[in-house]
């Protein structure tokens, strides 16, 4: 594995300060160095689901509806259908 003691970057993930990388610390480092920039997209999806759930709507159910049914369900919940993209 590329996170060995002489790699240098692994020291930032030595949370317990013992000078060694335990499996959890290696996992954190690997996740950090291999993560993509989709965190913002995931946050937007979470916000969408949260917003819909607050209004009694389920994302999966809305995705299964045709466009007109979905629009009506969003309007009935007091939401602007144009704010939500299900394509």
- Domains of the chain by residue range: 1-35, 39-83
Tens of pLDDT, residues 8-41: 446 788 888 888 878 888 888 887 777 765 566 6
Main-chain dihedrals φ then ψ at residue 15, nearest 5 degrees: -65, -35
* DSSP code of residue 13: G
Tens of pLDDT, residues 45-73: 777 888 888 888 888 899 899 999 999 99
Q: Which one, of 46, 52, 43, lies nearest residue 84 by Cα?
A: 52
Q: 29: burial class by Cβ within 10 Å (0-12, 13-18, 19+)?
A: buried
Q: Which are the contacts of 14, defined by CB distance < 8 A and separation ≥ 6?
A: 20, 21, 25
């Amino acid at each position: 594995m590329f996170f060995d003691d002489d790699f240098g970057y692994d020291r930032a993930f030595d949370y317990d300060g013992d000078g060694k990388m335990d499996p959890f610390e290696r996992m954190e480092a690997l996740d950090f160095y291999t993560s993509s920039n989709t965190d913002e997209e995931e946050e937007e999806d979470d916000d969408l689901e949260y917003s819909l759930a607050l209004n009694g709507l389920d994302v999966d159910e809305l995705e299964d509806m045709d466009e007109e049914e979905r629009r009506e369900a969003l309007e009935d919940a007091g939401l602007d259908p144009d704010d939500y993209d299900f394509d």
